[in-house]
Amino acid sequence: MQSGAAAPERSRSRRSDLDHCIYDWEMGNPYSNAWVRLRQVREVMQYYLDLELGQYGLTLAQLDILQMLSVSAEPLSPGQISSYCFREPQSISELVTRMVNAGYLEKVRDPDNQRSVRVRLLPKGEALRMKAIGSGFCYGYQVLRSAFSEEEIEVFDRLLTRVRDTVADELGLFVQPLPSNLDARALARLR
């Protein structure tokens, strides 16, 4: 942990909700150990997010949709949302429909193609996003900031990027810059 940095308060308050522990597996080689650690980090962060976002009746996928729409300069198509959130189109379509029915989003006709729809964030959805954002993006920022110095996080980011790019390459996926219709500066302010 970064010297002098305290772990986020939220993690200590949620500790009592855990009814199980995480075992410190030692697999005999550093590659296997790192793989297990990556899986454990994903699982424990997912557990945390399920608890926190559940207070708002949200899933991480729904928060991702709210977030992408909040930083977009224009309404997005379901296909764009699917691509930006790295989710299957069918699951995004179902989530968008539920969120439209709940009054968080609105479907509007695409001005360039009246047969297509776009999705835009409504004030009720923005209010929910603002309440829940600390449970998702901000918490991840706090955890990383408490665990790493600036120099360490830069190295960690480069290493994670290398792993992501290796897997993406093996799957035939292309890693591209964020599309220009999304405000990268607004995303960066989420902390």
Model pTM score = 0.78
The structural domain count of the chain equals: 1
Full residue range of the structural domain in which residue 68 is found: 27-135
Whether 107 maps to a domain, the answer reads yes
Whether 183 maps to a domain, the answer reads no
Whether 66 maps to a domain, the answer reads yes
- Which CATH number fits the domain that encloses residue 99? 1.10.10.10
Whether 5 maps to a domain, the answer reads no
**pLDDT one digit per residue (tens) for the chain, 191 residues:** 444 444 444 444 454 455 567 788 888 899 999 999 999 999 988 888 888 899 899 998 999 999 999 999 899 999 999 988 888 888 899 999 999 999 999 999 988 888 889 999 999 999 999 989 877 777 888 889 999 999 999 999 999 999 999 999 999 988 888 888 887 777 666 55
How far is CA 9 from its chain centroid?
Answer: 20
In SS3 terms, 164-188 reads as HHHHHHHHCCCCCCCCCCECHHHHH
Whether 11 maps to a domain, the answer reads no
d(CA 158, CA 139): 21
Whether 3 maps to a domain, the answer reads no
What lies within 8 Å, CB to CB, of 76 at 6+ separation is: 68, 69, 84, 118, 119, 120, 181
